[in-house]
Amino acid sequence: MRPMRVPFGPPEWRIGGVRFRAVAQPAVIGSRIGRRTIGPASSGTSRSSLTEDRSKMASIRCFLRSGKSAVSVVLRREFSKTSPAAVQVNVRDALNQAMDEELERDEKVFLLGEEVAQYDGAYKVSRGLWKKYGDKRIIDTPITEMGFAGIAVGAAFVSQLVLTRLNHLLLLCFQAGLRPICEFMTWNFSMQAIDQVINSAAKTYYMSAGAQPVPIVFRGPNGSSAGVAAQHSQCFAAWYGHCPGLKVVSPWNSEDARGLLKAAIRDNNPVVFLENELMYGVPFDLSEEVMHKDFVLPIGKAKVERQGTHITLVSHSRCVGFCLDAAAVLAKEGVECEVVNLRTIRPLDVETIEASVMKTGHLVTVEGGWPQYGVGAEICARIMEGPAFNYLDAPAVRVTGVDIPMPYAKILEDHSVPQIKDIIFTVKKVLNM
């Protein structure tokens, strides 16, 4: 019997007078049962075409299939009776709360890494968790990445038989093993452990022909910081995005951080979660629905952060903010940029990018990592190979970090990463302005 994923919680509930419906999102089944992301209230909502019964049947159907599908729950607003109350949460706290809620929800989730417990986290992301959950679930490790990454993957291997309830059915099924969250103090140190991430975590489900899932999350800050020099500033989005079997996620704001981390923890697959140190302290407004403890964002779905008509800017992580800033400046000159926040590096949401390019006819990708064999390179190649190519009015262009190891001196460091002026310059070049 293959291990299966049992959906948690009721398929429908209420929050503050608003009725929410759980819609099953099977990864393998060809039918698209309302795959929409949650955006701000103003981005328009649409009714699900399913009735309640159909959605319940969809849930049961998908978990009765083999454990290939991760049933992620997507919230959809049925009607808005009350406007959502906004709470200011910075990215660090969003990650902290997401982990706290998932630790509370599922006993099999645990966190290990350097200084995560008694020190409250090197960047304070795991503040308060050790006090609340104790030594068993929040584990301080020695400075031995290869070792503890391997230990984390091994812990994720062990599955057990459990008795669970789904609505009116009592089921006996395998549940995937423990659900470790393995923190790397920065992703630079993951190079010491990369064999465990790729060879032991990413490839195992394939090599075992589906017998051994690895429900693990690797997380930590990625990319450039401020003044930490060459060995501590590399972006690993392209490295990990290269590998089948891994899901690679790169949140930008607090909503992304919260929803995607929860989704990653609930996902039965190894997920590489690339945070950004410079975003940790940045606050964002979060609506009530985002603050709900079952709020998750789908992995593999990009979000259009800003609608536009003249050019598409595709980015991930901190550079999304730069794109929005550049778009604001360009709007004054009459150029309306559509900004797409990738949210996930692998699987890449090519459809959203294609739809946008087919609308605007121009594409610029923006990333902090190095240009050669990078995220932008992949996006450009895919657009070329797909239907959107015929809609391009100019070659697609990448804005990237400079192709050098990160220098230490401030003036050099500032010139090593893409700046807002680089984005504006590139947009104008592409639009022939």
Partner 1 sequence: MSSSAVDVDLVGNVILVAFCFDRQEGRRGKPSADRWRPNSMQKMLTIISNVLRGSARSNGAQVVSEAASLVVASRSYADFTPEATFDIKKVDLHRLEEGPPLTATLTREEGLKYYRTMQTIRRMELKADQLYKQKIIRGFCHLYDGQEACAVGIEGGITLSDHLITAYRAHGYTLTRGGTVREIMAELTGRRGGIAKGKGGSMHMYTKNFYGGNGIVGAQVPLGAGVALACKYLGNDQLCVSLYGDGAANQGQIFETYNMSSLWKLPIIFICENNQYAMGTSVERSAASTEYYKRGDYIPGIRVDGMDVLCVREATKFAAAHCRSGKGPILMELQTYRYHGHSMSDPGVSYRTREEIQEVRSKSDPISMLKDRMLSNNMASIEELKEIDIAVRKEIEDAAQFATTDPEPPLDDLCSHIFANDQPFEVRGATPWTKLTSTS
Residues that bind partner 1 (CB under 8 A): 114-115, 118-119, 122, 140, 142-144, 146-147, 188-189, 191-192, 225-232, 371-372, 397-405, 407-412, 415-419, 422, 425-426, 429
**Given the complex with partner 1, which of 134 and 405 has the nearer CB atom?**
405
Nearest-approach distance from CB 402 to partner 1, in angstroms? 5
> Is 288 known to be catalytic?
no
Q: Do the bridges between strand 138-140 and strand 109-113 make them parallel or antiparallel, or are there none, so unpaired? A: parallel
Q: For residue 266, which amino acid is it? A: R
3-state secondary structure of 412: helix
The residue type of 284 is: F
Q: Please confirm, yes or no, whether 145 is among the known catalytic residues.
A: yes
Contact between residue 46 and residue 213 where contact means Cβ atoms under 8 Å apart: no
Residue 253, phi-psi category: left (phi > 0), alpha (psi -120 to 50), beta (remainder): beta
Least gap, CB of 188 to partner 1 (angstroms): 7
Catalytic residue among 101, 102, 114, 145: 145
Residue placing its CB nearer to partner 1 in the complex, 166 or 402: 402
**3 state DSSP class of 8:** coil
CB atoms within 10 A of CB 115: 17
Residue type, 301: K
Amino acid residing at 376: G
Cβ-based nearer residue to partner 1, 41 or 412? 412
- C-alpha distance across the termini of the chain, in Å: 61
Q: Please, what is the minimum distance in Å from the beta carbon of residue 430 to partner 1? A: 10
Nearer to partner 1, 285 or 325 (CB): 325
- Using the minimum distance from each CB to partner 1, give the nearer residue, 215 or 401: 401
CB of 120 to partner 1, least distance (A): 8
Strand 271-275 vs strand 247-249: parallel, antiparallel, or unpaired? parallel
Beta partners for residue 169, in sequence order = 166
Q: Is 154 exposed, middle or buried (0-12, 13-18, 19+ CB in 10 A)?
A: middle
* Shortest spacing between CB 101 and partner 1, in angstroms: 26
DSSP string over 320-343: HHHHHHHHHHHHTTT--EEEEE--
**313, 423 in Cβ contact below 8 A?**
yes
Alpha carbon distance 162, 286 (integer Å): 36
For residue 164, the minimal CB distance to partner 1 (Å) is 37
**Catalytic one among 78, 232, 288, 292?**
232
Name the minimum Å distance from CB 148 to partner 1.
10
How far is 405 from 407, CA to CA, in rounded Å? 6
Q: Which stretches does DSSP call E strand in 302-414?
A: 303-306, 311-315, 337-341, 344-346, 363-366, 397-399
Q: Are strands 363-366 and 397-399 parallel, antiparallel or unpaired?
A: parallel
Q: Using CA atoms, how far apart are residues 73 and 226, in angstroms rounded to an integer? A: 37
Q: Are strands 344-346 and 303-306 parallel, antiparallel or unpaired?
A: unpaired
- To the nearest whole angstrom, how small is the minimum distance from the Cβ of residue 115 to partner 1? 5
Nearer to partner 1, 87 or 146 (CB): 146
CB nearer partner 1, residue 122 or residue 350? 122
> Which of 25, 141 has the CB closer to partner 1?
141
CB of 296 within 8 A of CB of 348?
no
Which residues form the catalytic set? 145, 232
